Amino acid sequence: MTDDATPAAAVRSRARAEMKHAILSAARERLARDGAQSLSLRAVARDVGMVSSAVYRYVPHRDALLTELIVESYDSLGAAAEASEGDVPRGDLAGRLRATGRATRAWALANPHEWALIYGSPIPGYAAPDLTISAASRIPSLLTRMLADAQRAGVALPDAPPRPGEAEALWQVVEFFPDGVPLETVARGLMVYTYLLGSVSAQVFGQRNNVVTEAGAAAFFDGELDRMAAFMGFGDLDG
């Protein structure tokens, strides 16, 4: 991408990259502090010590800035979850799910505005480009890998007679799984993912205020994860 044909060009393009990085950092900090609604190009320009119009040398428009932050957020969360999950022995499926869930929750509580940006209400007028869609897949990938590993290891995965319409509804998800994973397992896998996002959102967005005590929130979330692991056929907590 960068034109490094001459030393001077290399210097220029490095400076450009640094400037762009500074802009993104400032935007990231704004987002973390005030949320996506107050993220304006003018504010970012101010933070970085520029006149607002100068930012347009680096970012074509406000939405592009948002897109970059969305991708960064997905990646930051994905990396955190992968790191935690990777520390668990491959055979401990419930442990891998627990690590993924805990890392997701911890990241979300530490970065509530970023969480809201990627999993909260859609931003009016903003259409997420395809770029963001692939960045969103790191957590789902962890889950599908668990299920694939489980199947390879011969763990008995949830199975049941097919429900009407479900095969059609889920064909796009089914394609991500190796052959032979039961449809029931695919459906439950998507449910576990749905549950994970739902529970973490409930916690981050304050929907559990006056419901779950602050002191007990982490312990209850562990319980939720273990029950979801049982629901998924990892371990036998479900009795």
Partner DNA sequence: TGTACATCAGTGAACGCGCGTTCACTGATGTAC
Residues near DNA, by CB under 7 A = 6, 8-9, 11-12, 15-16, 19, 38-43, 50-54, 56-58, 61-63
Residue 197 interaction partner, one of a copy of itself, DNA, none, beta carbon < 5-8 Å per kind: a copy of itself
Cα distance between residue 69 and residue 138, in whole Å: 16
User: What is the binding site for a copy of itself (CB under 8 A)?
Assistant: 34-35, 37-38, 116, 119-122, 124, 133, 160, 163-166, 168-173, 187-188, 190-191, 194-195, 197-199, 201-202, 205-207, 210-213, 215-217, 219-220, 222-224, 226-227, 231, 237-239
For 177, the token pair is 């799984």
Looking from the CA of 201 toward its CB, the CA atoms found within 13 Å total 12
- Please say which residue, 6 or 210, places its beta carbon nearer to a copy of itself: 210
Helix (H) or strand (E) segment spanning residue 123? none
- Please say which residue, 48 or 148, places its beta carbon nearer to DNA: 48
For 38, the token pair is 């107050």
- Please say which residue, 47 or 120, places its beta carbon nearer to a copy of itself: 120
List the Cα angle 87/93/98 in 5-degree steps. 65
DSSP 8-state code for residue 162: P
